[in-house]
Amino acid sequence: MVFVVCLGPAAWLVWRGVNQNLTADPIKYITHFTGDWILRFLIITLAITPLRKILHVPQLIRFRRMFGLFAFFYAFLHFSTWIGLDQTFDLTGMWQDVIKRPFITVGFTAFVLLIPLAITSTAGWIRRLGGKRWQMLHRLIYATAVLGVIHFYWSVKSDVRKPLEYAFLVALLLAWRIGSWLMARRKGMVPRTTARQEPRTAESVQR
């Protein structure tokens, strides 16, 4: 059910496309729509750990990987819109855009950082890398979220309210993590994963 709900925004986009209802500037509309959903899914993914701890609902962890992969899915659509519709597969134009427009450089970096996370999201990769290394790698999601917000902030011309709202949420989630890490350290509770205890699924790796 959660999977189908997460597909909702994409289905909505397809529906509007089929009905030729993507506004006067469809490329801009699709780019903005998918961009918004990447950030929403990144924030939902980052919110899982605080929510399950605050609300005492450990089962929420089951959905974290799916939300993360949906962030990647919408990022892929966003990136593909830029490659196919905006740049019409013009490699030189793409390269010029990446190096000349700082907000594209930052967005591109954020997307590239998401790729290893999507690839290594399987149980097989967790076993191969080991829980600790896997967890370290998957901390890249924080960098992606911060870069995604900067990318959005730099892309808007005047009204910065929406990027600032996202920035506030990302900052809050990062502050929560830093706070709980500092508290655990003070109590001497920072978990140490040994080779024997290494988690075998994305769901069992705590972040």
**Would you tell me which residues interact with ligand HEM (CB under 6 A)?**
28, 31-32, 35-36, 38-39, 75, 78-79, 82, 104, 107-108, 110-111, 114, 144, 148, 151-152, 155
Centre a 10 Å sphere on the Cβ of residue 165 and count the other Cβ atoms it contains: 12
Which residue, 145 or 199, is less far from ligand HEM as judged by CB?
Answer: 145
Which residue, 52 or 78, is less far from ligand HEM as judged by CB?
Answer: 78
Which residue, 61 or 77, is less far from ligand HEM as judged by CB?
Answer: 77
CA trace torsion 171, 49, 127, 76 (10° rounding) = -50
Q: Which of 46-66 are b and which e, b meaning 16 or more Cβ less than 10 Å from the residue's Cβ?
A: bbbbbebeeeeeeebbebbbb
Q: First vs last Cα of the chain: how many Å apart?
A: 24
- Minimum gap (Å) between residue 169 Cβ and ligand HEM: 12
- Minimum gap (Å) between residue 101 Cβ and ligand HEM: 8
- Minimum gap (Å) between residue 119 Cβ and ligand HEM: 15
- Minimum gap (Å) between residue 18 Cβ and ligand HEM: 22
Q: How many CA atoms, within 13 angstroms, populate the side-chain half-sphere of residue 201?
A: 8
Which residue, 114 or 205, is less far from ligand HEM as judged by CB?
Answer: 114
- Minimum gap (Å) between residue 80 Cβ and ligand HEM: 10
Which are the contacts of 26, defined by CB distance < 8 A and separation ≥ 6?
17, 85
Cβ atoms 42, 107 nearer than 8 A: no
Which residue, 45 or 131, is less far from ligand HEM as judged by CB?
Answer: 45
Which residue, 17 or 191, is less far from ligand HEM as judged by CB?
Answer: 17
How far apart, in whole angstroms, are the C-alpha atoms of residue 22 and residue 124?
A: 40
- Minimum gap (Å) between residue 50 Cβ and ligand HEM: 20
